Structure 1
Amino acid sequence: MRPIYFFWIVFAISVYWMAYLYQDFLMNLLIAGLLCVATFWLKDFFGRYIKNEILNSFCCVIVLLAFLIVPLYFVGHRSIGFIVGLDMDSFSSFVDKTKQFIIGIFEYFPVLSSGIKKSLANISAQSIMTYAIHFSSYIGKYSLSFLINTGFIVVFLFFFFYYGRRIYNYILQLLPFEISQSKAVFREINGVLRVVFLTSIINVILQGFAFGIAVVWLGYDGFLLGVLYGLTSLIPVIGGALLWLPIAGYEIYLGNVGIAIFIGVYSLVFIGFVIDNLIKPIIIAFIKQKILKTPLQINEILIFFSILAGFSTFGFWGIVVGPTITAFFIALLRLYQSNFSHKNP
């Protein structure tokens, strides 16, 4: 057996066992690496003022962590304050009135009325609180898992920032391409990730601001609901419906049908369609052309749909993974076309 064949057999076996050994951390490593690639410009920015590599990398992690921790802390703090100050008598009265309101609506539909009454008979303030406690324990279990994974991502992210350039140069030496070809592939991936990162931040701010401005005039806490709407906007398809639907339902309960319709139409048409589906691709195109020094050759609509596909396949972190896979595939196709295809003009 030729030595090279033996090497590849042994190498493939070692890769399998390495993947098996670190399988619980592979996704965390991938997410940390992609975040580092998308935001490595932060390290260059801090490098102008902070020459210590450890402190520089630490500052980069703190800045990124602030985008996640600060909004979640604010929402959690306000939510706990709301729950602690909840008056059970008032809440029970609210539930009873809501049930009567719903039954009153379905009295015009005799076929459905009896079924609705039976469904609402077991609903009370106590049952809702019991369900909320049960649901919170369910959420808490997955939140703990999310926090643990986030902790690993933060640790890996620090090391990626610290060793980033050395890892990048080492990978360039390993790949069986010319250095210029490998750099072109990485440049494409880096550009797409930066577009996704910056677009997501701008989109969160725009949608949160638009919703907060609308509801503050209706007597709600515009800042809190704006932050919440911005966070929920990161979830494709469903997004802000998790927030505006309960508010619209509450306004209908109060008898403010016009306000409820306004909230629904405003959220669906202006925020959900105009901002998320029309303005967002424009933002992607603007970032590609004006902010990135090297223009990308990937259509902004394709980036937009790769975010949706990534979320549906990988969950929340698919927002980053989806565009990366798409950019890598297209970069390889372009590399093949320009260097290996015999049909080049």
Structure 2
Amino acid sequence: MPKKILLTSSQWLLIIALLVCAYACFTLIEPYINSIVMAFIISLLIFPIHDYLDNKMPNMRNTSALLSCIILTFIIVIPLLFVFTAIIQQGSSFSQSVYHWVTEGGVQELFTQPYVVKVLALANTYLPFNALEPSEIAQKVAELATSFGSNLVGISASVVGSATSFLVNFGLMLFVLFFLLRDHETIITAIRHIVPLSRSQEDRLLVEIEQVSKSAVMGSFLTAIAQGVAGGLAMWLVGFPGLFWGTMMGFASFVPVVGTALIWIPTCLYLLLTGDTGWAIFLLIWSVAVVGSIDNILRPLLMQGGAGMNTLMIFFSLLGGLHVFGLIGLIYGPLIFAITMVLFNMYEEEFNDFLDKQDNN
């Protein structure tokens, strides 16, 4: 049995003062906590590159850490600039094409299709709304196309206007990342010394945090990229801007339950109504068989092994994390669940005799 530790009043006072000061420090850094957490997670992902540079320059820790940060900047920032520019161009071009299609009688021609005529007749007969007229629908579609283009320009202007904030946060993340890479051994040693757990428990906790951080990034973001690439290829084949709609599918993949269906179901319906039945069937089969299988197979495969988390727990950790923390909750959610599971396992081992005794009573 481990020896019980009895704390004196001065020690209790020290602990309380430490907790108060720790809370005050957290309040100070809370606005930047996402940048700090992302720096920690990225340090785990980029550490193999940094370790390689560190081994090549064993006496130049500052230089190797700086080079790692520069490499990360080129990997993230430059591709994002090209992709963002292409998305704005393709999105604006697509909205203009839709507007011209509507104003040149595309909607009226669409409503001459036999399937559309039947659906519109059923809707006007049974739905408790005013009669749906093709001219009114065409006007609404034109307004939506115009507002889509203006909203896209507005979003791009907002993003450009927020460039300073992004650069500040990214710079802060790089600043924290530099010290995490350079002083990782010192930081880990300090954490191990302060945390009142056994070495084996500390190892389990640190390993689990590392595994779940990597799997959350791999499971969420790599799955989104894979679905975006597969979906964008299919959209390009059927005649839509591939990069723009592929990116939209990537973002839609973060939406729980529905996912990329937000994009490909309306597209399939449009192709079907405009007479492109073959392309509609192709897109439907591709989206279900390829894009859907990426989410159903790749995401659980990349996120497995985290503290014994099954698919149901992974689903709720992603859903809850997204609801509470936003997009970064796709990392926070699984991380919180995994740490809780590790601590629960530690609790079960630590109090195993007591729990067995309670079961036998």
- TM-score w.r.t. the length of structure 2 is 0.75
Displacement after TM superposition at 1:255 (Å): 2.8
In structure 2, the CA distance between the partners of 1:313 and 1:155, relative to structure 1 (3 Å rule), is: same
**Pick aligned residue for 2:30 from 10, 23, 34:** 23
Q: Which residue of 2 aligns with 1:291?
A: none
Q: Which residue of 1 aligns with 2:4?
A: none
Does 1:260 find its partner at 2:280? yes
SS in structure 1 opposite 2:56?
Answer: coil
- Listed one character per residue, the Cα deviations across residues 106-129 of structure 1 (whole Å, up to 9, x for unaligned) are 642335563565565354465554
- Listed one character per residue, the Cα deviations across residues 53-104 of structure 1 (whole Å, up to 9, x for unaligned) are 223223433444455434422322323444787896x654313234435665
**Pick aligned residue for 1:277 from 290, 296, 299:** 296
Separation in 2 of the partners of 1:128 and 1:194?
Answer: 36
Cα pair 2:40 2:180 within 8 Å, conserved: yes
Q: Which residue of 2 aligns with 1:189?
A: 209
- Listed one character per residue, the Cα deviations across residues 235-269 of structure 1 (whole Å, up to 9, x for unaligned) are 55454345435644653464313422432343244
In structure 2, the CA distance between the partners of 1:6 and 1:307, relative to structure 1 (3 Å rule), is: same
Separation in 2 of the partners of 1:204 and 1:55?
Answer: 34
In structure 2, the CA distance between the partners of 1:182 and 1:141, relative to structure 1 (3 Å rule), is: same
In structure 2, the CA distance between the partners of 1:220 and 1:102, relative to structure 1 (3 Å rule), is: closer
Cα pair 1:34 1:320 within 8 Å, conserved: no
Displacement after TM superposition at 1:341 (Å): 3.6
In structure 2, the CA distance between the partners of 1:202 and 1:107, relative to structure 1 (3 Å rule), is: closer
Separation in 2 of the partners of 1:213 and 1:62?
Answer: 31
In structure 2, the CA distance between the partners of 1:243 and 1:50, relative to structure 1 (3 Å rule), is: farther
Identity of aligned residues (%): 25
> Larger radius of gyration, structure 1 or 2?
2
Cα pair 1:39 1:194 within 8 Å, conserved: no
Q: Which moved more, 1:26-35 or 1:203-212?
A: 203-212
Separation in 1 of the partners of 2:157 and 2:150?
Answer: 11
The aligned amino acid for 1:161 is L
Displacement after TM superposition at 1:39 (Å): 4.1
In structure 2, the CA distance between the partners of 1:98 and 1:68, relative to structure 1 (3 Å rule), is: farther
**Pick aligned residue for 2:65 from 57, 63, 88:** 57
In structure 2, the CA distance between the partners of 1:115 and 1:159, relative to structure 1 (3 Å rule), is: farther
Displacement after TM superposition at 1:138 (Å): 5.4
Q: Which residue of 1 aligns with 2:3?
A: none
The aligned amino acid for 2:309 is N
Cα pair 2:54 2:64 within 8 Å, conserved: yes
Separation in 2 of the partners of 1:192 and 1:181?
Answer: 16
**Pick aligned residue for 1:320 from 328, 331, 334:** 331
Cα pair 1:75 1:228 within 8 Å, conserved: no
**Pick aligned residue for 2:139 from 121, 125, 130:** 121
- Listed one character per residue, the Cα deviations across residues 309-331 of structure 1 (whole Å, up to 9, x for unaligned) are 32232111112111211121111
- Listed one character per residue, the Cα deviations across residues 244-302 of structure 1 (whole Å, up to 9, x for unaligned) are 35644653464313422432343244312x221134323444xx5xxxxxxx6423524
Q: Which residue of 2 aligns with 1:2?
A: 9
Does 1:154 find its partner at 2:174? yes
SS in structure 2 opposite 1:299?
Answer: coil
- TM-score w.r.t. the length of structure 1 is 0.78
Separation in 2 of the partners of 1:189 and 1:121?
Answer: 54
**What does 1:295-334 correspond to in 2, within 5 Å?**
297-301=307-311, 302-303=313-314, 305-334=316-345
The aligned amino acid for 2:340 is F
Does 1:244 find its partner at 2:264? yes
Unaligned 5+ runs, structure 1: 289-295
The aligned amino acid for 1:262 is F
In structure 2, the CA distance between the partners of 1:69 and 1:280, relative to structure 1 (3 Å rule), is: same
